[in-house]
Amino acid sequence: MKSINMILYWVIAMVIGLSACGDDDEKTIPAHTEEEKIWIADNQKYFQEKKEDVEDDGQLLYQRLVVDEDTLLYRVLETSQIDSFPEIDADVKVSMLGVIPVSQTVIVGNKDGNPIDQTLKLDSPNLIKGLAALLPKIRKGERVDAIIPYQLGYGDRNYSNPYIPLCSTLQFTFTVKSFD
């Protein structure tokens, strides 16, 4: 009987101890199907790889922007001399291509994978957090590549229109054309 109690205590201790383990860089994600777990792992791996990308001179390729304790990555591909930024309630006209990089699925753009022009309302509740936080920091005329983790994108649920699987890392390449 004493050995059974010891085994039960050991099992309880292991369950409690192992459930407390975690990775500081990753959020805890609810259990899903095996296919979804693979998808989530692939997306997290892609984001981590981009987070660690460096240029030839050893500098990080992507700048980081922390939003609500999560980090998005971005780099300015073409700079602008215009020293004007959109206000938090602006309508921003952009030319944008959005993809799910792990599957190379286009979510914003035409069928050929070319950017499309659209207007984004910065104060819209429908605009994902990552873009809402990044766009006010981009000058008119700048072209940007942004990698947005699921926490600042569409979250840990499937999104229907366009279809975006749960926990998808998103990548947007856009040029700010104007804002008002």
The domains of the chain, with CATH numbers, are 23-179 (3.10.50.40)
Residue 14 has pLDDT above 50, yes or no: no
pLDDT of residue 28: 54
Pick from 24-28, 88-92, 105-109, 165-169: least confident: 24-28
Residue 27 pLDDT level (bands cut at 50, 70, 90): low
Residue 29 pLDDT level (bands cut at 50, 70, 90): low
pLDDT of residue 92: 97
Kindly report the pTM of this predicted structure: 0.81
Question: Is the separation of the CB atoms in 103 and 163 below 8 Å?
Answer: no
Average pLDDT, the chain: 86
